Chains A and B, each alone.
Chain A
Amino acid sequence: MPRGHLLGHDRRAPGDQRPLTAFSGLVENFFRHEYGRLVASLVRRVGVCELEAVEDAAQSALLKALETWTSGGLPEQPSAWVFRVAHNALMGDLRARGRRRRLLAEAPPPLVATEAEPRLPSEVEDDLLRMLFVCCDEAIPVESQLALALKTLCGFSVGEIAQRLFCNEASLYKRLARARERLRAQAETLGELRIEQCAERLPAVQGVLYLLFTEGYLLLEQVAPSALHRLNRAVAVAEWRGPQEGLAVLDGFQPPTWLAGSFSWAAVLADLHGRCENEGSARRYRQLALETAPTPALEELLRRRLDGNAKGEPQPDGRDSSGNQSSPSPD
C-alpha cells in the first residue's frame, strides 16, 4: 500500500520512489541555525522595529516545518521552504496590524512590501553579521546584548538562555522586552545602522561572539567534548542541587590546558566557590577569569556577575555552607 499521506506537502516528483523516510537531508542543528538566519534576513527586510513580529514568524515557520516534515518528508530546499513560510506569516501579521490601525483611525502605517525572493548564501551571512551589530547597541546593557544575540541569532528560548546566563526567566523576559523596545526607539530616531556605528560596536560584537562560542558551543564541543561536558555538567548540577554538588563534579578533574586557560573555566569555578563561600578560591578564580577575559566588555560582564554572587546568595534547601575548602570526592 502506498505510504503517502493525505495532507499533501510531499514534493517528490511523480514516479520518484525515494522513501519518505529519507530524512538524512537535514543538516545538524537545522532548526537553531535557521532560526537565526530567518530573524536576520527578515529584520533586514522589514526593520528592527518589527523584531518581535519577526521572531514570532520565524518560530511559527519552524514549528510548521516540524509538523509538516515529520509527516510528509523533507521538501527539496528546506531553507527556502521555511523562509517562504516565515515571510508569508510576517507579511500576514503586518497587514493585519495595518488594518487594525486603520480601523482605529490612526495614520496608515508604511506597509513594507517585500518579496520572498530566494536568499543567496552570502546575503544570509551578511544579514547574520548585521543582526549581530544590531544586537550590540550601546543603548542596551551588555548582558542584554548577549541575551538578545542568543535569542535572535542562536534560537535559544528564554528558558535556555536563563539557564546559561544564570538568571531567572521572568527577569530575562523583561530584559529582552526592554532591549527590543530600546532597539525600536533607536531605529525610529537614528534610522538604519551606519558604518561608523558599526565601528563603535565592534568591541561589543567581539565580546558577544566570544561568549556565543563558549556558552553553547559547538566548536569547543567538537574539539574536546568530554572536558566541556564535564564543566557544563558541573554548572547544571550546581543549578539543580547547589554549588557544592557542582564543585564535586569537578573534584579531581584535570582540565586540558585549553580549558584550564579559558576564562569560562575560571569563571565557573569562581562562581561555584563564591556561592560555597570558599572565599580564598573564589577570589583566586575571579582574578584569573578577569585576566583571561578576551574583551573589556566581557570583563565588565564577568565582574558584575561574579560580584553579584559575592554579595551572598541563599543556599538551596539550607545546605551546609560552612566553607570547606575542597569538596568531598564524588562517587
Chain B
Amino acid sequence: MSKTKYLCILRSASGSCETPSPAQMEDMYAKFNAWREKFQDNIADMGGRLGGGAVLTAEGRIDGPFVEGKEIVGGFMILLADSLEEAAEVTRACPGVTFSGTTVELREISAP
C-alpha cells in the first residue's frame, strides 16, 4: 500500500522568534540535517518558509501576508506516512517545529 501525503502547515506566534546566535544556528543546522536523514523516506517535499503574497477574490486582490489572530503561517512541507500518527511522529521529531509558540496543522491530502 502506498503512503498517504500529508500537508504540514507551520504557524508561529508573530514576533515570538528571537534570532539565534551563529552557534545556535550551527546546532539547528546539524539537528535539522539529522532529522532529514532519518526521515528521508517520509519527506515528499521540504516546502519552505512563506513570504509575502496576495489573496485573490472575485472582487479583486488583497495584499498579504495574512495574520489570523495572533498566528502567522510561516511555512509548509509535505510528508508521506502510513497514518496520521506516523506523520505526527515525523513532525514532532522535526527540530524546526519544537520551538515554543509554534503549532503545526497536519492535513491529509486525498488522492483523486
Measured CB to CB, the residues of A under 8 A from B are 1, 3, 5-7, 20-21, 23, 26, 29-32, 34-35, 59, 62-63, 66-67, 69-72, 155-157, 159-160
CB distance from B11 to the nearest CB of A (A): 16
A155 engages B23 (CB within 8 Å): yes
Residue B70 lies at the interface, judged by CB distance under 8 Å to chain A: no
Q: Which residues of A contact B19 (CB under 8 A)?
A: 59, 63
Q: Which residues of A contact B32 (CB under 8 A)?
A: 70
Pick the contact of B22: A5, A26, A31, A70 (CB < 8 A): A31
A154 CA to B21 CA, complexed, in Å: 11
Known contacts A21-B36, A34-B22; can you find 11 more A-B pairs with CB under 8 A?
A3-B46, A5-B48, A6-B47, A7-B47, A29-B26, A59-B22, A62-B22, A66-B29, A69-B29, A155-B21, A156-B21
Closest to A73 in B: B46
A71 CA to B49 CA, complexed, in Å: 9
Closest to A71 in B: B46
Residue B37 lies at the interface, judged by CB distance under 8 Å to chain A: yes
Pick the contact of B25: A1, A63, A156 (CB < 8 A): A63
A92 CA to B69 CA, complexed, in Å: 31
A303 CA to B97 CA, complexed, in Å: 46
Measured CB to CB, the residues of B under 8 A from A are 19-26, 28-29, 32-33, 36-37, 40, 43-49, 77, 96
Q: Is the interface of A mostly helix, strand, loop or mixed?
A: helix
Q: Which residues of B contact A157 (CB under 8 A)?
A: 20-24
Closest to B43 in A: A3
CB distance from B96 to the nearest CB of A (A): 8
Closest to A66 in B: B25
A34 CA to B23 CA, complexed, in Å: 11
A66 CA to B33 CA, complexed, in Å: 11
Knowing A31-B23, A160-B21 touch, does A67 contact B49 (C-beta < 8 A)?
Answer: yes
A292 CA to B29 CA, complexed, in Å: 39
A216 CA to B71 CA, complexed, in Å: 38
B33 engages A70 (CB within 8 Å): yes
A5 CA to B49 CA, complexed, in Å: 11
Q: Which residues of B contact A7 (CB under 8 A)?
A: 47-49
Knowing A21-B33, A21-B40, A31-B29 touch, does A160 contact B23 (C-beta < 8 A)?
Answer: yes
B44 engages A1 (CB within 8 Å): yes
A-B complex: 6 closest residue pairs judged by Cβ atoms: A157-B21, A155-B22, A7-B48, A31-B22, A71-B46, A35-B22
Q: Which residues of A contact B43 (CB under 8 A)?
A: 3
Pick the contact of B36: A29, A70, A160 (CB < 8 A): A70
Task: Show 27 residue pairs from A and B whose CB-CB distance is below 8 angstroms, ordered by the A residue.
Answer: A3-B40, A3-B43, A3-B44, A3-B45, A3-B46, A5-B45, A7-B47, A21-B36, A23-B33, A26-B29, A31-B23, A32-B23, A32-B26, A59-B19, A59-B22, A63-B25, A66-B20, A66-B25, A67-B49, A70-B32, A155-B23, A156-B21, A156-B22, A156-B23, A157-B20, A157-B21, A157-B24
